[in-house]
A and B are shown apart, each in its own frame.
Chain A
Amino acid sequence: MKVLVYGGGVPALATCIALLDAGLSVDLAGPTDAAREPHLPQGGIACGHDVDAFARGLAGGDEPAPHHRALAEAARPIVEELAGWGVPFARDGAELALRRLPGWPDADAAFVGSSTVQLTAWALDLQLARRNADLRRLPERDLLELVRDDQGAIVGAILRDRVRGSLESVAASAVVLASGGPAGSPVGSSASSFPEVGVAAAYRAGAKLRGTGRPRLHPTLLSHGRHPQPLSSALRAEGARLWVPVDDKEVRIPRDIPKGDRDHFVQEELGEDGHFANDRLLAELVRRVTRERGVYDRVERTSRETAYLDISHLPAGHLAARVGDEIRAIAARAPRHPSEGPFEIRSGAVSLGAALAVDEDGELEARTSLPGLWAVGTTAWRDLADEEGVALLAAIHHGRRAARAIALALEDASDGDEAALEHAKAALEDGLEDAPDVAAEAGELAELVDALAFGDDDGDDLAARIEALLEETRVPTTTADPRHQGLLAGLEIGLAATQMTGQQAPIDVARSDDGFPERA
C-alpha cells in the first residue's frame, strides 16, 4: 500500500510523518525541495489558552463542530511536540513566550522570531529524515494529471521532472494533495510561480471545489517593489500602527508629519484593540479609508490608495528579535529603513478562497469528492473562521487526521492501476506542445483576481474575460512550461470562482462535460 503525497510544505511533511508512523509507504513529490514552502503566515502557531473559547472562535462564534473542538484541543500538544523536535520557540524562562494572535481574542501564538513556519518545516523535515526507510522523495516534479480507473477511483498521477522535462507515472493506492494554492493568488508570485496547479489537476479530474465567494483579503501588503507582499500579522501584534495623513493633499514625508496631523483610523473606527481585528475586517477598512484619502503622490498629483504602517516608535532590538525577517524584507524595498519612519502599505486580495471540498468530520476526514484523493492544508477548503491566523496549526493537525483516515480507508483498497497510468502518460507525451509566452496574461490574471475579490466587477463580465483569456492560452493538452501550466490552473480556478461570487454560505462547483464550471 503506497501513498503519494504531493506538496512541499508543512501540511505535506506533517502528513508524511503520520503516514509513515501508521506503517504505510510514502512517495513525497513536489515542485520544490521539501521544507521550502513559505507561503504561510510567519507570525506564529496558534496556541489557545482556553480550549472552549478557542473552539468557539474557530467556529466563528457559533456552536463548535467536533472538528473545531478537535483542532482546539490539539493546539497545545502540537506546540509542545514541535518544541521537543527542535523548534526553538521564544521563551520566558522555561515557559513559552506567547504573543497575541490578531483576529483571535481567545488564542495566543507561540513563535520563533518571524520564521516560525520555516523552522517548523525544518524540524518536520528532520523528523522525516529519521523515518526514511519507507519514504521515497521525488523533488522538482510538477503534477500534470491525476489518473482514475474505470470505477473512477484515483490510481496515481503523472508527474513531470522539472529538470529533465521527462514524464513519469506514479502508482498509488491514495493520493494526498498538500500543494497549497487556495486558488488565484496574485501576491508574492512572479510569472513563474502559481501554486494552484495541484488544485486544478484535481478539478480537471472531477473533484469538487468549494468556496463562499469571499476571497481572502490581507490588510497590509507592502506596496513597494513589483509584487505586493503580505506582511506578517506579527508586526501588528508587536505594535505596528496604521495611519493616513489628515490632509488628503499632504506633501511632507511621513516622519515629518506631526502626531496631530496623523489620522489613526484603526483605533478611531475599531477601538484601541483595532489592530488585533481579523484580516478581513481590517482589510476592508484599509481599502475604504485609502480610497477616500490615501497617501498623496505629489509628483503624479493623485492619491495612491495606500496607508502608512509605522513601527518606528518601537525599540529596534525588540523588533529584530521578534520580527527580524519582516524588517529585513521591508528594509530592502522601502525608501528608508522601517525603524526610521513609516512605509506605505495597501490592502488587497491574497487568494480567491476556493479550494477542494473535503469531509470535515467523521472517519474519513480530509477525503475529497473523488475516491482515493485526499487534501490537506490550504489545498482543502475548511470551515474555519479567519483561517489565515490558524493555518500553521491546522496544517499539522489536518495532516495527521488525514493520515489516520487514509490508513483506515486503505485496509481494503487495491494497489494502483498500472495500465491506466501508462495509457494516461502516453496520451500526455503525445500532446506536449510549445507554450505561448504567458508573462502578459499573468499580469491580467492578477488584475482579474483583484476585481473579483473586491466585487469591483459583476461576475458575468469577469467570467467572460477569464473565458477569453483561457481560450487564448489553452493549448491542446499540455506543455513543458510550468508557468503556462500555472496560468491555466489559475484561470480555470478563477472561472470556477466566478460561480461563487456573492455567496455567503459555501457552495461546491464541479467541472461540467464541456469544460466549464457548474454549481454542484
Chain B
Amino acid sequence: MTTATLKILRQDGPSRPDTRRWENRAVAADAVTVADALSAHPDVAWDDRCTWPSCGTCTMVIAGRARPACTTPIAEVVDGKGVVTLAPLGGVPLRRDLWVDRSGLLEGIAGMAPWLDGDVAAARREPFAAFTRCTRCGACLDACPEVRADSGFVGAAAFGLSHEARTLEPTARRLDAIIDGGIAECGGANACVDVCPESLALDEALRHASVQATRHAFARLIGRSTGVARTDDD
C-alpha cells in the first residue's frame, strides 16, 4: 500500500460538537486493513477489542458505509485520490472520535428478552440460529433512516435477536416490547439488510415482528389476549 491517507472525523467528547473536525493521518506502509492503519495512531479513539470479526465493536462508517474496520482492506475503500474517509457510526451517541456508545442498542435488545428457553426443541431453534451471528455492531442503526430521524425505533438488531422463532409462542411481554420498540416506525427501507456484515435476513425478522405486533395491538385494543400460551416467560 502506497501513500494512502485516512481522513478521520474527530470530536473531543460527547458534549463538544464545537471540536468536530476532519483530520488526516498517513496510512503506515505495512497496514493492510483499516484497523491496522488506525492502530498506528493511538491518539484517535475507537473501539478495538479484538481486531478479528468476532465482536463487532470496530464497526464505523468507512467510505460512506458502516463496516467493521478489522476486516475491511484499505485497498477496497480507498478513493481515486488515495483517501479513506472514516466517521463514527450514526444512530448511536458519540463518545469521542470514532468511539460510540452502543449501550442503548444492548438495552433495546435485552428489553425484548431474547433468551432461549431451555425446553425449545432443536428443530425450533433452526430458523433462529442464523440470527445468533449478530455481533450487535450497530451497522443497522447507522443505515436506518428511522433511527437517524430519532423516531423511537430501536433498530433491526433487536428484532433479529428476538425473532419469535426462538420461543414456542410469542409472549405478551415480548409483543409489548416489540410495539414499544417502535416496530410501527419501520418504513421497510431494508437499508439494514444491505449493510449487515453478517448478511442476516433482518427484513424477514422485521416483517414477522410487524405482523405479530399488529395482531397483538388490535387484541390489546379490544381487551383480549392474543391467544398466547403464557403471559410471561421470566
A interface, CB within 8 angstroms of B: 32-33, 36-39, 42, 84-88, 91, 94, 112, 115, 117-119, 122-123, 126-127, 129-130, 139, 163, 188, 190-193, 224-227, 229, 325, 328-329, 331-333, 437-439, 483
Contacts and interface: CB of A to CB of B under 8 A. Distances in A.
Interface in B38-93: 38-40, 42, 48-57, 70-73
B52 A226 contact: no
B98 to A, nearest CB: 12
Interface residues of B, number: 46
A226 B40 contact: yes
B115 A332 contact: no
A193 B106 contact: no
Interface of B: 14, 28, 30-33, 35-36, 38-40, 42, 48-57, 70-73, 95, 101-103, 106, 110, 113-116, 118, 122, 125, 128-129, 132-133, 135, 166, 234
Contact of B54 (A91, A115, A438): A115
Given A39-B50, A123-B116, 18 more contacts: A33-B106, A36-B50, A36-B55, A38-B49, A85-B115, A86-B116, A86-B125, A88-B128, A130-B113, A163-B101, A188-B51, A225-B32, A229-B51, A325-B54, A332-B72, A333-B33, A438-B42, A439-B40
Contact of A38 (B55, B102, B129, B133): B55
Given A32-B49, A193-B49, A333 B55 contact: no
A118 B54 contact: yes
Nearest to B110: A129
B102 A329 contact: no
Contacts of A33: 102-103, 106
Secondary structure at chain B's binding surface: helix, strand, loop or mixed? loop
A130 B115 CA distance: 8
Nearest to A187: B51
Contact of A119 (B36, B50, B70, B132): B132
A126 B57 CA distance: 18
B115 A86 contact: yes
B39 to A, nearest CB: 4
A37 B122 contact: no
Contacts of B103: 33, 139
The 5 closest A-B pairs by CB, nearest first: A86-B116, A190-B39, A38-B54, A126-B115, A38-B50
B95 A163 contact: yes
B116 A85 contact: yes
Contact of A226 (B31, B55, B129): B31
19 contacts: A32-B57, A33-B103, A36-B56, A38-B50, A85-B115, A86-B115, A88-B129, A112-B132, A119-B132, A126-B115, A127-B115, A188-B52, A190-B38, A190-B51, A192-B39, A329-B52, A332-B32, A333-B32, A439-B42
Contacts of B114: 126
Given A42-B54, A226-B28, A86 B40 contact: no
